[in-house]
Amino acid sequence: ESENIGGHVRDQGDPIDVAIYAASTEGDVEVKGNILVSNLFPVKQQNGVPFSPMGATVVLDAHNEVRYPQLESINTIEDVAAWMMGYATFDDLLAGWGFSSAEEMLSEYGLGSLEEFVSTNIGQMRSTYRLEVSSRITEWLREAIDNGRLPQADNPDIVSTMLGVDNDYVLRGAGLDNLAIKDGRAWVLEDLKDDTPEPAHLDAMAYFEERPPFEVEDECPALMAWAAEELGLEGDIQTYLAGAYVYTTDLQPCEMCARLRDAATILADEDGAQIAALGVVINEFAAPAAPISEEQMASIGQALALHSDDGTYYAAAGQWLDTLVEYIGILNSEIGWSMADSAAFVTTKYVAPATADVDATVVAYVEARLAALGS
């Protein structure tokens, strides 16, 4: 059955009969060697292939990552055939059996493909079972693939082939890194689709409420004084305005100061919710403390764009980043500072304090966004 968890419909998967369950509630699960599942009852035959009538399942349930080197080293049907027969490589199998090619071997045994060769022999040569692996911090299949959290997440069919006839390989996650998800159950991982329901709203995000309107003219002296103090300027801020304001009224500088004040309020992120939301988004695509690639940067940007201004944690993160750009733009194009000085100022005043206690990947992402402004 499927249920709505964290704003998305999640596939709960099929009921299972667990034979082996290995878990870590805080770290990783690693399998060294092979897993053997034996049936206490006589093994039945199905089309000449032994199989377990109990449909036993092995579950590897990790908080972070599942590592299974035996699975990770096999990538093709040739690899499966060699592994099944106890050879290091498929060429070794052919040489050991006295064949010069796969076609010659298949012809000898009257088989049409290597897939048929494997399915015919796997139950006799290897222990077969159903396998489920779970990374509790993972919400989407793409996260598991990009961060290497589950074996062969990008090639699950090859594992299903290794597991034998009618045995599935299931990849699960519970999205524990998403602040909006508190369900705890692990679902079958899928890719995030543009047409899926929207992510859950976070009730604590009061900063999405509309700011009370104000009269610019009435607040103008206070706004000008605030902006001068905010930027560490001495005297009237109009002295520092770019040439665009030289021949205009005082109203535009006041509006600029109001926008700067609103931006400063968002960047200060007093309750830390927006930076926390940014961390959740980034860790969906990049592993904590790991270098962040251009592809991951692009994926994060796409996810933020899909949920702009919808009140979700994506929107919270996107608002903070957009405000960062807006603040720097005001300093550069309206106050008249250089882009380098503008970026350095906002980094010292807001970025560094806001990211002081967050994961290094979040810091690297923000730094990359800042660097892109000056490129």
Shared-domain flag, residues 123 and 240: no
Neighbours of 330 (CB within 10 A): 20
Shared-domain flag, residues 339 and 228: yes
- For residue 205, pLDDT over 50 is answered with no
Residue 69 located in a structural domain = yes
Mean pLDDT, rounded, for 51-73? 81
- For residue 195, pLDDT over 70 is answered with no
Shared-domain flag, residues 142 and 6: yes
Shared-domain flag, residues 32 and 100: yes
Which segment of 213-227, 325-339, 342-356 scores lowest on mean pLDDT?
213-227
Residue 178 located in a structural domain = yes
Residue 193 located in a structural domain = no
Whole-number Cα distances in Å, 32 to 19, 68, 199: 18, 7, 38
pLDDT per residue as tens digits for the range 317-330: 999 999 999 999 99
- Give the pLDDT score at 219: 72
Q: How many domains does the chain have?
A: 2
Domain boundary among 137, 158, 188: 188
Residues sharing a CB contact under 8 Å with residue 147, sequence separation 6 or more, in sequence order = 65, 138, 286, 287, 290
Shared-domain flag, residues 173 and 257: no
pLDDT per residue as tens digits for the range 142-175: 989 999 999 999 999 998 888 876 678 999 998 8
Shared-domain flag, residues 154 and 265: no
Residue 195 located in a structural domain = no
- Give the pLDDT score at 3: 66
- What is the spatial distance between Cα 198 and Cα 176, in angstroms, rounded to a whole number? 18
- For residue 344, pLDDT over 90 is answered with yes
Q: Model confidence at 244, in pLDDT bands (50, 70, 90)?
A: very low
- For residue 118, pLDDT over 60 is answered with yes
Shared-domain flag, residues 139 and 61: yes
Domain containing residue 233: 206-373
- Give the pLDDT score at 235: 62
Burial 59-96 (b: 16+ CB within 10 A, else e): bbbbbbbbbbeebeebeebbbbbbbbbebeebeebbee
Residue 299 located in a structural domain = yes
Shared-domain flag, residues 76 and 127: yes
Shared-domain flag, residues 210 and 181: no
Q: Model confidence at 278, in pLDDT bands (50, 70, 90)?
A: very high
Domain boundary among 138, 159, 188: 188
Q: Which residue has the higher pLDDT, 67 or 46?
A: 67
Residue 196 located in a structural domain = no
Q: Write down the pTM of the prediction.
A: 0.51
Shared-domain flag, residues 311 and 273: yes
Shared-domain flag, residues 214 and 84: no
Shared-domain flag, residues 150 and 20: yes
Neighbours of 56 (CB within 10 A): 19
